[in-house]
Amino acid sequence: MQKPQPGATIAMITQQLLDMKQQTAIDWRKMLGIGIVMPGPFGVEGLSSEGTTTLHGWEHVDIVGRLSAATGWPVTLENDATVAAICERFHGVAKRLDSFVYLYLGTGLGAGIFTDGQVYGGHAQNAGEVGHMVVRPDGRQCYCGNRGCLERYLSLQTAWEACGLDPLTALPEDLLKAPAAYFDRWVTSVLPAARQAINILECVFDPEAVIIGGLMPQPLLAKIVLRLSPCCARCAVNIALPIFDEFNPQYDVLLK
């Protein structure tokens, strides 16, 4: 659904679940609950429903309570970047990592954080809202009211804008049809902000790797990582940036 509205969306989900319950081939006694994924941040006045990177009209909707009441199952709500990190932990390049940051490139930008094998959610489950990390004081205006937020430089929306596409109607794969020179120019423009943000995340969380993923088409993600690679010790495909050189020091050199 494009621009999903609460009433119609919850009704559709509920009906789908009721229809699935009629399928006798499924042992519903094994059903643990329902997981709902939404873009964050959650419950932040003046921010949770602002701009094109959020879901308008959902800020006061108790989707957990309404779906739980309709189905009788427990419901868990999580943001999209954290769920992407969980999937990467189970099935992707983070299978053998206990501490990592997953940068989720969507319409905006978020991060899922694992520390010592556990998801880090923060006080209000809003940890990882790195898209609103200010990387350019007095920079581009952001929907949150600040200037210079990271997602005003590194996100699908800014890539669409740089490639001459309409962010309100463009799809991620449309970037593959755009002139390569436009996309490459956008990558060049976002490198300083991206490197700064990754460096800050490494300083704060000391991860084994920073993984870049999300909705950006894979070939274009690879381009970004390739351009970022001089600032890290080594790169792996799909798509992880191991920690910067300064956090993987050669101690015999430092002791000289």
Active-site residue numbers?
A: 80
| DSSP 8-class letter at 141 | B
Which CB contacts under 8 angstroms, 24+ apart, belong to 59-65? 61/6, 61/10, 63/6, 63/10, 63/36, 63/38, 64/36
**Which residues does 142 contact at the CB level (< 8 Å), separation at least 6?**
51, 132, 148, 149, 151, 152
**Rounded distance, CA 39 to CA 108, Å?**
9
The answer to whether the peptide bond before residue 207 is cis (omega within 30 degrees of 0) is no
- DSSP lists the bridge partners of residue 115 as 118
| DSSP 8-class letter at 95 | T
Could you tell me how many residues make up the chain?
256
Burial 66-102 (b: 16+ CB within 10 A, else e): bbbebbeeebebbbbbbbbbbebbeebbbeebebbbb
| Residues 86 and 197 sit within 8 Å (Cβ to Cβ) | no
The helix (run of H) or strand (run of E) holding residue 6 is: helix 6-21
Using alpha carbons, select from 168, 146, 147, 148 the residue that is nearest to residue 157.
168
| Residues 168 and 123 sit within 8 Å (Cβ to Cβ) | no
